[in-house]
Structure 1
Amino acid sequence: MVISWSPSGDFSEVVDTLESVTILRCDRQGHAVQAEAWRFEEVRADSAQAPGSLWQTITTWQFSLPEVDVSPVPSDRLVDAQGRCATIRSARRQQGATRYVCETVRNVVTAKSRQVFDIQRPIVVNGQGGSTIEQWELAQTGVEGCFPRRQEDPLEESPAIDIALVGPDEVVVGARLLSRRGGEYAVTAVDMPKIVGDPWVVTTVELDTSA
């Protein structure tokens, strides 16, 4: 007897440990794709950006998609059956099929170190006397992060404070971070992720809000 098997159409029938996932496109236009996925491999590791305070779960997935034009790409998001959101680092299509292999990363801040920040950006007005900040605009709320351990320089009058942020839309020099635990921080430098899905690290100076 000849057995006929289609790797694109029968994937969900031969793998019995599937879970429902949602692929969210990185263009943030609301395009979402549903799939049945196999959690092939999962590794947990300490984050290089904030060791001891932030860890990463790196997962390899396999799943089929019915349409070729919805191929996942790096920076897309994958939401698993428990509602946990991860960033797709890499994606490749298996030859001759609509089955994909993706690697995702999910950053988790430890409960002890967890901070939540609201990000403000300045509205700058150009006048006769030069550029001035007219007001502050709320750019993003509820961004998780932490303070990585840093060796302070005792000679610094206002020691720089590094902050690791998980999944901000954008952070620019001159922005302000408002911690919901208290404290406001002015961003003086931004280290964007070198690998898709890694945390951002920003250098800040704490602002005096006592006046």
Structure 2
Amino acid sequence: MALDFDPSDDLAGVTDGLAPVTVTRPGSSTGSEVAHALRRTVRTREAEKSEGRYTAGDVTWHLPASELATAPRPGDMIVDGDGQRWTVLDVQHTALGNRWRCVARNLAVVHGLDEYVDIEQAIYTKGDGGADEPAWHTWKTGLRAKIQPARVEVKDEHQRRIAAAGFKVFLAEDVAVDHTHRVRGPDGTLYRVIGYRKADRIDALMEIDVERAS
């Protein structure tokens, strides 16, 4: 559902003034630099008219059409000067045609992602005995995340029964992980990746299933 927009009250709702941002598309390694972005809060009455699609905690970014080679679309990410990431939920072309209006949400704030994690990747080489040995390298750093216990599983390992604690790592952005990756928690704890689920909606989080690395 479209929200009301009156160009005459544009400046009345400005929270941060004009600022540079970067617009990125999922799966792309590059982004589009926008020098003159305008951020407004989503007003309570606008949130009510959206029938639950938007909240008063969302924001509206106005992006000059002349500074974007391609039109923004839902699912894109707007990264502001403070490194905050805003997921685009809805896009409208203004009546005058010179500005893109993007309703966006900071998923890290909404879902309480109050930790930062790194993701490391293993590069395998042959050791002296001919076996593949991993050398771990930092792949992604400073990802906003939340780590929470998920389960305790009893496993047979080397003729011993051990309890393996499982955890879920929630991320605000999708990353391509597999068994060659591990997560380093904010306290240095290492977690082995055993599965993942990418977000099934643009306003949802990616989940990585992990267990503590031995």
> What is the Cα deviation at residue 82 of structure 1?
6.4
TM-score normalised by L of structure 2:
0.66
> What is the Cα deviation at residue 36 of structure 1?
4.3
Structure number with higher helix proportion:
2
Q: Secondary structure at the match of 1:140?
A: strand
Decide which moves more: 72-81 or 161-170.
72-81
Match of 1:117 in 2: 117
Match of 2:170 in 1: 164
Contact 1:124 1:131 in 2 (8 A): no
Q: 1:67 to 1:137 in 2, by over 3 A?
A: closer
TM-score normalised by L of structure 1:
0.66
Question: 1:131-153 CA distances to partner (integer Å, 9 max, x unpaired)?
Answer: 73431221011122112364x35
Contact 2:42 2:57 in 1 (8 A): no
CA distance in 2, matches of 1:98, 1:134: 52
Contact 2:36 2:63 in 1 (8 A): yes
Q: What letter corresponds to residue 72 of structure 1 in structure 2?
A: P
Cα RMSD (Å) of the superposition?
A: 3.7
Q: 1:125 to 1:196 in 2, by over 3 A?
A: farther
Match of 1:39 in 2: 40
Match of 1:187 in 2: 193
Q: 1:188 to 1:29 in 2, by over 3 A?
A: same
Match of 2:22 in 1: 24
CA distance in 1, matches of 2:117, 2:125: 26
CA distance in 2, matches of 1:108, 1:68: 26
Contact 2:20 2:36 in 1 (8 A): yes
How many percent of aligned residue pairs carry the same amino acid? 17
CA distance in 1, matches of 2:118, 2:21: 26
Q: 1:178 to 1:113 in 2, by over 3 A?
A: same
CA distance in 2, matches of 1:77, 1:113: 17
Q: How many residues are aligned here?
A: 183
Question: 1:126-184 CA distances to partner (integer Å, 9 max, x unpaired)?
Answer: 89x9973431221011122112364x357562132111123364333331111131311
Q: 1:181 to 1:38 in 2, by over 3 A?
A: closer
- Alignment pair present for 1:206 and 2:204: no
Contact 2:75 2:88 in 1 (8 A): yes
Contact 1:24 1:76 in 2 (8 A): no
Match of 1:108 in 2: 108
Higher relative CO (CA 8 A, sep ≥ 6), structure 1 or 2? 1
Match of 1:52 in 2: none
Q: 1:204 to 1:84 in 2, by over 3 A?
A: closer
> What is the Cα deviation at residue 15 of structure 1?
2.3
Q: 1:109 to 1:92 in 2, by over 3 A?
A: closer
Alignment of 1:76-155 (within 5 A): 76-80=76-80, 84-94=84-94, 97-108=97-108, 114-125=114-125, 132-148=132-148, 150=150, 152-153=151-152
CA distance in 2, matches of 1:170, 1:139: 11
Contact 1:92 1:102 in 2 (8 A): yes
CA distance in 1, matches of 2:200, 2:131: 32
